[in-house]
Structure 1
């Protein structure tokens, strides 16, 4: 049966199916979060924000501020300038020749002891210097020969060399070049001695015999070519003569006034031989204002600190205070110690320490009075604030104070403790967040 054109069968278009890889499956339960999850998330965020907010507020509103407590000393001093006075004897020698000193600065010399050697000519002096050099080498060889163990001797010498280096550095730092020069000589001798320690025994004997032979010949040649200068009295030797030896004497101190002291001039006395400092007492004459001198009493013991030359404080006695002259007085201090270190000093600046207080330095802001009326400071101990009672021994009323710990064991304030200056909710046992 023929079909009509309009009677053709209708074929519905097939549904388009996506490829396998483009298919997605959605869980309708995860498409929108549940109300419980949203609430929990909001609570966590709120807690985090609250925590950081509290920390920021505490940091800016009432932060923990601390400082280190440390040992300190406060002194009441008066700065002065004066002259050192000693009983001194200038050595004189009328003979000519080449002078060689045999004593070091500040060395004690007995009566009749040699202080210098005078040689007739340069050849005699050179011969003596060669004798001294050979004698030093002979001493080193004898030491090496008598050493029981080379290794033990070397270790001992290493220690002595290190000590001598420290002594030399200390002498240079304190401007005692005379002492430094002696240290250099001793150091050279120690180094030579150490070099000989590992030398063969037979070689040591041969070198010793050779040096002894040379020494004998040189000593025979030098006989009668020099003469020695001896000390007429016992005392400390000093190579420096500055002209004040006859101007400043212990006998004229009782009548010394500020005007006389300020107009002192050295005499023309000089000597290449040096001088002797007699006795064990020295004096320091200084001019002070009458107001400062009121804090000093005759016969009292004071502390004198020289600006240079001596690296320690000296205990002195106030021997006398002159009458006032134009608002100033002359004070005579008397000392009996460390004279050997003062032989090179004459006009010298110094501090007179009238009083001193020692304690633990803390800021004024750290000192508090607790509920029981006890004065103390709070310290950071671990993560807690601990109250430590103290006694204030000095205060400047502004910045800091000196205190002493009143507690025992763990409650006592000690140098190095972290004292609290500012913190919120400060009380004994309170937990603090210490960050430095």
Structure 2
């Protein structure tokens, strides 16, 4: 009996062990997957562009001619900010203080003339109706005269002729008055012409002696920051330049006699002058092409290195000649730019998603997600900036056969965003 009980107990233990093993096989992997896999952030590889650039402020140097107002007073602009003007073109008209008063009188007079003409037109419509009535009446009486003539009723015919003559005379009087200018309106027009002559005597046109781009922002650097002085500029000169020019509404504030009120930028080419670390500056040689993003305008322009100074306490001055966006940059003296060193296109991923980065050979690893498992794949870094990298698969001919695996990165491949503490083969949700 004891042996039977022991046998039964042994069978129960074996069955329990089998059930426990099955439980572990079925549920433990799911538990591990739930604990370690659910918080791993993933994304997919996309196509994109990146730029390796340096952000800094640049000073704008250009050829400028400052214009002074010959008289003070109210100013009427003919050319707006950033617009082009030809040689001897009229930039603005200045009216002195006496002209300002006359201009107010002229405006009031124009209103009177408009009102008088409106009333006269209303009267003309009334008289026009009277003329039509007279014409119809004359026509009717002439028809009666013809009938009376056919019936030899000369007495009645003679009377009607007299009435017709009176109507014709009345019509001529009305028509004559309509053809003559209204005396009141004419007096207003004469007064306006007289005012206009007096205004012209106190008004002066300001013209440009050179052609170029007009700007109303005067900052006092026009004679100092010129292209021919770029090589003479020091670090201190560049650092001390301030954005102190203000675009004034000269039509509101007016202009002062002998004071600058506008300038003409005489060349479409201008220069972006900046201070760079001397090691970085050595990468740029005179005449090298370079792309620059003008952040204040949201625009990318292309230029050429015009000048590079010697090392000055670890820094150098670099000037880039640009011929784009001359009108848009007219109000600026300083502008924030991105000096674009390189541009890359291809498979784009965050830089933090790469591990074991070899800067010398430009190789790194990306953690791909294959069948919910982490698989580290070596890739080549085509280019990078502080945030992103453009990658591509490594040519298998250029690496040892031991390092070659069957996985590769492609468009829409799933990868781990932050591969820190992720191990090869780890379950990824």
* Two-structure CA RMSD over aligned residues (Å): 5.0
Q: 1:382 to 1:43 in 2, by over 3 A?
A: closer
Q: 1:118 aligns with which of 83, 87, 94?
A: 94
**TM-score w.r.t. length of structure 1:** 0.53
- Structure 2, unaligned runs of 5 or more: 1-13, 111-184, 246-256, 358-362, 396-407
Show the counterpart of 1:419. Answer: 415
User: What do the CA deviations read for 1:374-403 (whole angstroms, capped 9, x no partner)?
Assistant: 99867558989999995432479x998531
Alpha-carbon distance in 1 for matches of 2:410, 2:222:
54
Given the alignment of the two structures, is residue 286 of structure 1 paired with residue 282 of structure 2, yes or no? no
Q: Does the 8 A contact of 2:368 with 2:375 survive in 1?
A: yes
- 1:229 match: secondary structure: strand
Q: 2:332 aligns with which of 345, 349, 353?
A: 345
Alpha-carbon distance in 2 for matches of 1:231, 1:327:
44
Q: 1:51 aligns with which of 12, 23, 26?
A: 26
**TM-score w.r.t. length of structure 2:** 0.54
Structure 1 residues 157-306: aligned runs within 5 Å: 223-224=196-197, 225=199, 226-261=203-238, 271-306=259-294
Q: 1:339 to 1:365 in 2, by over 3 A?
A: same
Alpha-carbon distance in 1 for matches of 2:208, 2:36:
80
Q: Does the 8 A contact of 2:67 with 2:262 survive in 1?
A: yes
Given the alignment of the two structures, is residue 311 of structure 1 paired with residue 298 of structure 2, yes or no? yes
Q: Does the 8 A contact of 1:62 with 1:424 survive in 2?
A: no
Q: Does the 8 A contact of 2:380 with 2:393 survive in 1?
A: yes
User: What do the CA deviations read for 1:327-371 (whole angstroms, capped 9, x no partner)?
Assistant: 43322221111001111111344443333444411522599xxxx
Structure 1 residues 382-393: aligned runs within 5 Å: 391-393=380-382
Q: Does the 8 A contact of 1:298 with 1:319 survive in 2?
A: yes
Q: 2:391 aligns with which of 403, 417, 427?
A: 403
- 1:232 match: secondary structure: coil
Alpha-carbon distance in 2 for matches of 1:276, 1:322:
29
Given the alignment of the two structures, is residue 322 of structure 1 paired with residue 298 of structure 2, yes or no? no
Alpha-carbon distance in 2 for matches of 1:106, 1:219:
35
Q: Which has the higher contact order (CA 8 A, sep 6+)?
A: 2
Alpha-carbon distance in 1 for matches of 2:222, 2:306:
21
More divergent stretch after superposition (353-362 vs 384-393):
384-393
- 2:310 match: secondary structure: coil
Kindly state the Cα deviation for residue 104 of structure 1 after the two structures are TM-superposed.
Answer: 1.9
Show the counterpart of 1:136. Answer: none
Q: 1:48 to 1:347 in 2, by over 3 A?
A: same
Given the alignment of the two structures, is residue 109 of structure 1 paired with residue 85 of structure 2, yes or no? yes
Alpha-carbon distance in 2 for matches of 1:399, 1:351:
15
Alpha-carbon distance in 1 for matches of 2:196, 2:370:
80
Show the counterpart of 1:364. Answer: 354
- 2:316 match: secondary structure: strand
- 2:69 match: secondary structure: coil
Alpha-carbon distance in 2 for matches of 1:115, 1:323:
42
Kindly state the Cα deviation for residue 109 of structure 1 after the two structures are TM-superposed.
Answer: 1.5
Alpha-carbon distance in 2 for matches of 1:51, 1:350:
60
Q: 1:62 to 1:299 in 2, by over 3 A?
A: same
Aligned pairs, how many? 299
Show the counterpart of 1:67. Answer: 42
Q: 1:45 to 1:342 in 2, by over 3 A?
A: same
Given the alignment of the two structures, is residue 354 of structure 1 paired with residue 344 of structure 2, yes or no? no
